Chains A and B, each alone.
Chain A
Amino acid sequence: MTSAEFLEIAIYATFVMVMLSLAIAFIRLAKGPTLADRVVALDMMTVSIIAVCGVAAVATGVQALLDVALVLALVGFLATVALARFAERRDARNEDAAHD
């Protein structure tokens, strides 16, 4: 087996592993008992998609996919922060409603 063949097999295997991690994180997103579980699963999916962009950049040689990864990291952080703040505010509001 030459090294190029090994790289090709490794790209396929990595695609399978990363897609599997995306699917498993999606199961947690669907099941997650609380909102915080779902936010964690969504964060995990964003990181997995960044990994998919990296593998696709190696598989196709397209450099623009790494720009996609950078922008996805920025947007994923904003989404996580917004959802976490929303969860916190919602809990505080429910607590206030319970006290009244």
Chain B
Amino acid sequence: MINIIIALFLLLGGFFALIAAIGVLRLPDVLTRMHASTKAGVLGSSLILIGAAIYLAETEVTARVVATILFLMLTSPIGAHMIGRASVSGFKKKHVTGEKGA
């Protein structure tokens, strides 16, 4: 029974990681790509780490997994915000010059 739960966590996590990567490849611009990588990517690796914590079933391991997931969920929005702020000035410039040209 416990094996099946671990297997489901791993498969779901791998699925979400794959979806995130496909999103990063296929979506049209930086902001939408960022949306795929931060949300689906963090969910995928969190599910896989939870599966590992259930499999190993020790207190220290679980504490490490919880710390890793918390850290990922704290830092990935900050990183995405910084990349977005860096890229949005380029967008603004492009739109402003486009209006001037028209």
Q: Which residues of A contact B (CB under 8 A)?
A: 3-4, 6-7, 9-11, 13-18, 20-22, 24-25, 27-28, 34, 36-37, 39-41, 43-44, 47-48, 50-51, 54-55, 57-58, 61, 63, 66-67, 69-70, 73-74, 77, 80-81, 84-85, 87-88, 91-92, 95
| Chief secondary structure at chain B's binding surface | helix
Closest to A6 in B: B7
Number of A-B residue pairs with CB-CB distance less than 8 Å in the complex they form: 194
- A78–B31 Cα distance when bound, in Å, is 20
The prevalent SS among residues of A at the interface is helix
Q: Is the CB of A54 within 8 A of B25?
A: no
Interface size, B (range): 35 or more
Q: Which residues of B contact A16 (CB under 8 A)?
A: 14
